[in-house]
Structure 1
Amino acid sequence: MKKVKPKDIKGHIEYLADDRLLGRMPGTEGYKMAADYVIDKFKSMGIEPAGENGSYLQDVTIRKAVTGNDATFISRDSLGNKSELIHGKDFVIFPNAVEKQTTLEAPLVFAGFGISAPEIGYDDYAGIDATGKVVVVMRGAPDSFTSTVAASSMDIGNILQTAANHGAVGVVMAFTNPTAGVPNISRGVNSVLGPDGGIAVSRYYVSDDVKLFSFISGETLTNFLAKAGLDFNTSLTSLKNATPVSAPLNTTIRASYSSSHEDINSYNVIGKITGSDPLLKNEFVIHSAHLDHVGIGAPVNGDSIYNGAHDNASGVASLLEIARIYSRIDAKPKRTVLIAMVTGEEMGLLGSSYFAKYPTVPKQNIVANINTDMPTIIAPLLSVVALGAEHSTLDKPVANAASYLGLDVEEDPEPEQNRFVRSDQYSFVSQGIPALHIKYGNKTPDGKNNLNEQVQVWREKYYHKPQDSIDGTFDFDAGKTYVQLNFLIGYQVAQNPERPSWNPGDFFETAR
Structure 2
Amino acid sequence: MGNKLNLLFAAATLVTAASNVNAQTLNLGSDVKQAIEVVKADEIKADIAYLADDKLKGRGPGTGGYQMAVDYVIGRLKSMHVQPAGENGSWLQDVHIRRALTQSPVLTFNNAPLAGAFNIYPNPVTPAVKGSSQIVFAGYGISQPALGYDDYAGLDVKGKTVIIIRGTPDKFSSSVAAHVANGLTLLKAAAAHGAVGVIVASTDSVVRNPNAVATPLGSNSIMRTDGKVAVSHTYYSEQIKLYGTMSYAAAKAVFANSEKSFINVVTKFKAGEPQSFDLKGKIDFSYASTYKDILSYNIVGKITGSDAKLKNEYVVHSAHLDHLGIGRPVEGDSIYNGAHDNASGVASLLGIAKVYDNLKIKPKRSILVVMVTGEEMGDLGSGYFASHPTVPVKNIVADVNTDMPTIIAPLLSIAALGAEHSTLNKQVDEAAGYLGLSVEPDPEPKQARFTRSDQYSFVLEGIPALHIKYGSKTPDGKNNLNDFVAIWRAKYYHKPQDDINGIFDFEAGRKYAQLNFLIGYLVAQDPAKPSFNAGDIFASKQ
Give the structure-2-normalised TM-score: 0.90
Q: Which residue of 1 aligns with 2:404?
A: 374
Q: Which amino acid aligns with 2:108?
A: I
**Which residue of the other structure, out of 149, 154, 157, is the alignment partner of 1:127?**
154
**Separation in 1 of the partners of 2:108 and 2:65?**
44
1:72–1:85: 8 Å Cα contact kept in structure 2?
Answer: no
User: How far apart are 1:234 and its partner, in Å?
Assistant: 4.3
1:63 paired with 2:98, answer: yes
Please say if residues 117 and 511 of structure 1, whose CA atoms lie closer than 8 Å, have aligned partners that are also in contact.
Answer: no
SS at match of 1:426: helix
How do residues 322-337 of structure 1 correspond to structure 2 at under 5 angstroms?
322-337=352-367
Report what 2:141 is aligned to. 114
Structure 1 position 412 matched with structure 2 position 403? no
| Counterpart position of 1:19 | 54
Aligned to 2:72: 37
Task: Report the equivalent of 1:453.
Answer: 483
Amino acid at match of 2:204: N
Q: Does 1:74 align with 2:104?
A: no
Equivalences for residues 253-272 of structure 1 within 5 A: 253-272=283-302
SS at match of 2:316: strand
Q: CA deviation at 1:184?
A: 10
Displacement of 1:406: 1.2
Between the aligned partners of 1:326 and 1:175, the Cα distance in structure 2 is: 51
Name the residue aligned to 1:339. Answer: 369
**CA distance in 1 between partners of 2:277 and 2:267 (Å):** 16
2:219 paired residue number = 189
Q: Could you say which residue in structure 2 is the equivalent of 1:303? A: 333
Q: Does the aligned pair in 2 maintain the 1:24–1:291 contact within 8 Å?
A: yes
Q: How many Å separate the matches in 1 of 2:418 and 2:505?
A: 25
In structure 1, give the amino acid aligned to 2:394: Q
Among 160, 163, 166, the alignment partner of 1:136 is: 163
Which amino acid in structure 1 is aligned with residue 169 of structure 2?
Answer: P
Determine if the alignment matches structure 1 residue 292 to structure 2 residue 318.
no
Of residues 208, 219, 230, the one that matches 2:249 is 219
Find the aligned partners of 2:343 and 2:37 in 1 and give their Cα distance.
22
Q: Partners of 1:407 and 1:236 in 2: how far apart?
A: 45
Partner of 1:257: helix, strand, or coil? strand
How far, CA to CA, are the matches of 2:46 and 2:215 in structure 1?
A: 37
Range with bigger deviation, 319-328 or 241-250: 241-250
**Does the residue aligned with 1:507 lie in a helix, a strand or coil?**
coil
Contact 1:139-1:154 at 8 Å conserved across structures: yes
Residue type at the aligned position of 2:321: L
CA distance in 2, matches of 1:63, 1:250: 37
CA contact (8 A) 2:97 2:221 kept: yes
**Mapped contact 1:392–1:503 kept (Cα < 8 A):** yes
Deviation at 1:482, TM superposition (A): 0.6
Contact 1:156 1:203 in 2 (8 A): yes
CA distance in 1, matches of 2:300, 2:272: 43
User: Match for 1:166 among 193, 202, 208?
Assistant: 193
Give the superposed CA RMSD: 1.7
Between the two proteins, the alignment pairs up a number of residues equal to 504
2:40 equivalent in structure 1: 5
Asked whether the equivalents of residues 72 and 84 of structure 1 are also in contact (C-alpha less than 8 Å), the reply is no
Match of 2:28 in 1: none
- In the other structure, the counterpart of 2:275 is 245
C-alpha contact 2:80 2:353 (8 A) present in aligned 1 = yes
Contact 1:135 1:163 in 2 (8 A): yes
Distance 1:349 1:185 in 2: 25
The answer on whether the counterparts of 1:12 and 1:313 sit within 8 Å (CA) in structure 2 is: yes
2:38 aligns to what SS in structure 1? coil
Unaligned runs of 5+ in 1: none
TM alignment of 1:460-471, pairs within 5 A:
460-471=490-501
Deviations 1:278-317 (A, max 9, x none): 0000000001000000100011111000000000000000
In structure 1, what residue type is equivalent to 2:105? A
SS of structure 2 residue aligned to 1:2: helix
Contact 1:386 1:439 in 2 (8 A): yes
Higher mean displacement: 386-395 or 186-195: 186-195
| 1-structure distance, mates of 2:491, 2:216 | 25
How far has the Cα of 1:391 moved from its partner? 0.7
Q: Is the 8 A contact 1:393 1:502 kept in 2?
A: yes
Measure, in 1, the Cα distance between the counterparts of 2:214 and 2:98. 19
Greater shift in the superposed pair: 235-244 or 428-437: 235-244
**Which amino acid in 2 is paired with 1:397?**
Q
Match of 2:16 in 1: none
Determine if the alignment matches structure 1 residue 49 to structure 2 residue 76.
no
Whether contact under 8 Å (1:289, 1:340) holds in the other structure is yes
Q: Does the 8 Å CA contact 2:337/2:499 hold for their aligned counterparts?
A: yes
**Identical aligned residues as a percent:** 58
TM-score by length of 1: 0.95
Please say if residues 140 and 176 of structure 1, whose CA atoms lie closer than 8 Å, have aligned partners that are also in contact: no
Counterpart contact for 2:121–2:217, Cα < 8 Å: no
Cα distance between partner residues in 1 of 2:188 and 2:288: 22
CA distance in 1, matches of 2:181, 2:213: 16
C-alpha distance in structure 2 between counterparts of 1:504 and 1:240, whole Å: 29
The separation in 2 between residues aligned to 1:460 and 1:183, in whole angstroms, is: 32
Q: Note closer, same or farther for the CA distance 1:374–1:5 as it changes in structure 2 (3 Å cut).
A: same
**Contact (CA 8 Å) 1:141, 1:239: kept in 2 or not?**
no
Structure 2 CA distance for aligned equivalents of residues 213 and 93 of structure 1: 6
Deviation of 1:232 (Å):
3.9
Deviation at 1:197, TM superposition (A): 2.0
| Deviates further, 130-139 or 492-501 | 130-139
Q: 1:329 to 1:437 in 2, by over 3 A?
A: same
